Amino acid sequence: MKQNATNSKSVSFIEKEKVRSVTGKMRNERFFHDLAETFKAMSDPTRTKIIYALCQEEELCVHDIAMIIGTTNSAISHQLRTLRNMKLVRYNKVGKVTYYSLDDLHINNLFAEGIRHVDEK
Amino acid sequence: MKQNATNSKSVSFIEKEKVRSVTGKMRNERFFHDLAETFKAMSDPTRTKIIYALCQEEELCVHDIAMIIGTTNSAISHQLRTLRNMKLVRYNKVGKVTYYSLDDLHINNLFAEGIRHVDEK
DNA sequence: TTAACATTTGAACAATTGTTCATATATCAT
DNA sequence: ATGATATATGAACAATTGTTCAAATGTTAA
């Protein structure tokens, strides 16, 4: 059911109007990149564990997160850096201890929506 | 500020109570794995574009999605398979055309929350 | 100062990922 | 049948990722 009968050249698309309409509503490359990055920040089990733990307790230090999750301090520290770079967590250094917490309530909403999805499947 | 003075062995953790409390609230491995997988499904720009397009138009075929996004049919088909495996999209084959749509409204909510996060940054 | 501790960092590694290309399958029209 | 079209698929490839290990910071206490 080709709808581009008006064109002499055979430019192919199945439903011309849909394509035009949706194409007009698309956003720029940066938007899709940032959106993907946001989800990617939560796309690893170690990171979902860290975020989940920080949903239970406002502030946690690296060592305690490692204890809770059952991994090495190094692995946690690396992942916390990723979360920091993606602005999902912030930190507060007191002496030799670095306390991490979720950056804003937005993160909680997004994360909670993901949990709802998993729990209702 | 060690709080495990009662132990003779030097088991180290910074805040014993927090660790015990949060550890008790943690969920099983499968939960964190599934949660990560859900976010991972939306963690690639090509896939966020596909999902965004399907938020604008109920049903779209592979070729039209490729036109809208500006990629090859093959790349789109591969990604649609990923989205299919992760139960984010379903399809409806009519003749030689396969129409894809979002699997349920839950996906829209999760996706919309991600968009809100990106737009408000 | 020295030792112990909390965290960070860089290199290395295997594992996973997304695209491309060529090819295969399936449907429709002639 | 043949050719055109729509989609799917497998192999190959570079690129990215997460962990481990060893070593480096930086802080506190003795």
Q: How confident is the model at residue B11 (pLDDT cuts 50, 70, 90)?
A: very low
Q: Domains along chain B?
A: 33-119 (1.10.10.10)
**pLDDT tens-digit map of B62-94:** 999 999 999 999 999 999 999 999 999 999 999
* CA-to-C1' span, A56 to C17 (A): 32
pLDDT at B60 over 70: yes
- Of A24 and B12, the structure prediction assigns the larger pLDDT to A24
Residue A36: Cβ within 10 Å count:
21
A81 CB less than 7 Å from any atom of strand D: no
Structure-token pair, residue B11: 């088991």
Q: Which position has the higher pLDDT, A70 or B105?
A: A70
List the single protein residue with the shortest CA to C1' distance from C17: B44
Distance CA B57, CA A96 (A): 53
The shortest C-alpha distance from B45 to chain A (Å) reads 5
Q: What is the pLDDT along chain A (121 residues), one digit of tens a residue?
A: 333 333 323 445 678 899 999 999 999 999 999 999 999 999 999 999 999 999 999 999 999 999 999 999 999 999 999 999 999 999 999 999 999 999 988 899 999 999 999 998 7
CA-CA-CA-CA torsion sign (B88, B74, A37, A80) = positive
